Structure formats: structure tokens, C-alpha cells
Amino acid sequence: MAKRHWMIYGANGYTGQLLASEAQRQGLAPILAGRNPAAVHALGSRLGLDCRIFDLQHGERAREALADVAVVAHCAGPFSATSLPMLQACLASQTHYLDITGEIDVFETAHGFDQRARELDLVICPGAGFDVIPSDCLAACLHQALPDASHLALGFDSASGLSPGTAKTAVEGLGLGGKVRRDGLITDVPLGHRRRRIDFGRGSTPAVTIPWGDVATAYYSTGIGNIEVYLPAPAALAVGMRLADPLRPLLSRRALQGWLKGLVEKRVQGPDPRSRSERRTWLWGEARNSDGTVRTARLETANGYEVTVHGMLLAVAHLLDYVGPGGYFTPSQLLGPRCVEQLPGSGKILVS
């Protein structure tokens, strides 16, 4: 691919601004893009970077804006609304696709374009941020350590805070319920489906299953058919999740969703630089085979947003020089099972 430009779409969002600022600090020159002219141009003026304004709902305009772009770093969430039109524009313009989603349905939709991407020699790699680089690497390393594993559990302990986009995605998730993978199939389960105690890296704590992106991606990375993802949660919160599960139809209503997202717009700003520097993340994984053999993996990383910024930059650099086959990739498939160890602030994956 002769094209050398790359683009941050959603550059004026919380994570997009972090990514643009770090790219500029490293001497890189991404094109900043989005649908808000004032916000995008203000950022471009501050960083000295070129800007393009377009709405993903206008397909022809999106294709034109991507015509000379080799790689797009898609940061405009919620991805349930933006991923599909961006994917379609990238396929039409022959542009490699990266995003920072953690949404199971978005991963599954992206995987549906695998064959088309293969035919075009284009890479589709959603989840090239904290969702799901670190946990995907743990999954891949555990599969290497226990190739006949039949069950995989992953989880993380973090106080990274929420950006507005992540908070909106969480609002959408209220009505979707829990999800796990059983016998290879993504399966709906109640909120707070399963509880256990886990040592994520700083002592044993109660945890509960959540519908995290690895339910989709870890299957493609490992082939393991039974997957759960855990987050620390006091017992009272886990019980409350189960009690709230019958209310999911109410929580899915458009009016309530709109009201909750409006509150996010007004009240959620995202963590400040000090919080990002101080709040680290601990990840854990466990693989088990039919004989009862268990292997455990742990990893400590920087704050989730720092992982996202540097993970995306790693993926962009990789694709700007990419000469391999096209298709759908998870981060560990595209960048290697220990790629997270290259990111600033990340430790080594320890498997026992």
C-alpha cells in the first residue's frame, strides 16, 4: 500500500485528544478528523496538525476523506453507532481499520468482514487499546502455556476512571445484560451471572462476571470455547446486579438511554493527568483443561487510557509498514502475544 497518511477520527473526544497530543509529541503527523468543525479545528490549531471534517453517516464523503489514508485510528464512540459505517468506508477506500472499542457486538460485526478484508489485503483490528490489548495478550500466552485448555477466565482490577465515550457505552450496556462464551457460542446470562474471589495482583477480592470484549476476541485468539471475564465487585454490588437484571427492558428504553447519556455529557470529563499517572491496572487470567490442569497469568500495566494511547500508536506504526495478509485480527494476532510488554508502564506477563 503506497498511502502513508494516517487519521484519528473522533480526535476531539477524550481519548482522541490524548492520542493526538502524544502523536504530535512524538513528531508524528496524523490527520485529525471528526464531525464537529469547531472542536476538531481548535485541536488542530493547537497541535499544528491538518484536519478533515466529515460525518460517517454520509458514506460518499467518508470514502473521499479516507482516499489517501493508509490507516484510520477510529476513536469516536459509542462504537455501536459508528463502527459499521467506518468499516464500510475503510473497505471502500482500502484503508486499514483500528479502533478502541470494548463492545462485544462491535467485535462480532467486524469479524463478519474478515473474508472481504482478506480479498482486499486490508487489516481490520478492533480493540487496539486497553480494550483488549492486555487481556488478549494474557489469553494468547495462556493458550501457549496450556494448548488443550477448554475454559478461559480473564479479568482486571483498575481505577482508571471513565471518559465520556466509555460512560455512554456503559449506559448502553445496562440494557444488554451479561454475556459469556459457552461451547464456542456467545451466550446471554443475567447481570452478575457468576461470582468468585480472585487475586488480580494486589490481594484476593470478590469479583463478578461482566460482558467484556474478550468474550468475543479471546475466542479468535485462542480457539477456547468457554470464556468469562471478571471485574472486582463487593458482594453487595454483585447481588444488586442480579436483582436489577429484570429491569433491563426498562433500562433499554430510548428515552431513558437518552437521559442517562445527557447526564454523561454534563458530568463526565475523564481522568486528569495526575489520575492517569497514579492509577495503574492489574490483569489476571486462568486457563483450565478437561483434566483439571490450571495455568494462571498476571500482568501490571499503566492506566487504561495510557495503554490505549500507546497501544494504538504501536498498531498504527505496525500497519504503516505492513506487508502481510488482510483479514480480521485481534491485537495479539496482529502485534504478537506479548506486544503489551512494549508499552510504557507495562510489566512482563507472568505465567505460572
Give CA–CA dist 13/77, Å, rounded.
Answer: 9
- Please report, rounded to a whole number, the percentage of residues in the chain having pLDDT higher than 90: 73
CA angle 171, 177, 183 (to 5 degrees): 135
pLDDT score of 75 more than 90: yes
Parts of the chain belonging to CATH 3.40.50.720:
5-130+305-338
Mean pLDDT in residue range 223-235: 89
Band of pLDDT at residue 191, cut at 50, 70 and 90: confident
pLDDT score of 249 more than 80: no
CA 204 to chain centre: 26
Q: What is the pLDDT of residues 251-286, one digit of tens each?
A: 566 665 566 556 546 665 566 677 666 678 999 999
Q: Which CATH class, in words, describes the domain spanning 5-130+305-338?
A: alpha beta
Instruction: List the alpha helices (DSSP H) in 112-244.
Output: 114-120, 133-145, 164-173, 214-222, 235-244
Parts of the chain belonging to CATH 3.30.360.10:
133-303
Fold classification of 133-303 (topology level): Dihydrodipicolinate Reductase; domain 2 (3.30.360)
Q: What is the pLDDT of residue 77?
A: 87
Q: What is the pLDDT of residues 137-154, one digit of tens each?
A: 999 999 999 999 999 999
Band of pLDDT at residue 233, cut at 50, 70 and 90: confident
Give CA–CA dist 47/32, Å, rounded.
Answer: 10
Q: What is the pLDDT of residue 167?
A: 46
Mean pLDDT in residue range 73-96: 96
Q: What is the pLDDT of residues 28-60, one digit of tens each?
A: 999 999 999 999 999 999 999 999 999 999 999
Q: What is the mean pLDDT of the chain?
A: 89
What is the dihedral angle through the alpha carbons of 232, 237, 243, 248, rounded to the nearest 10 degrees?
Answer: -70
In whole angstroms, how far apart are CA 129 and each of 59, 65, 202, 242, 310?
Answer: 26, 24, 23, 29, 8
pLDDT score of 109 more than 70: yes
N-term to C-term CA, the chain? 42
* Overall pTM > 0.75: yes
Band of pLDDT at residue 164, cut at 50, 70 and 90: low
Could you say which DSSP state residue 166 is in? H
Q: What is the pLDDT of residue 238?
A: 57
Q: What is the pLDDT of residue 253?
A: 65
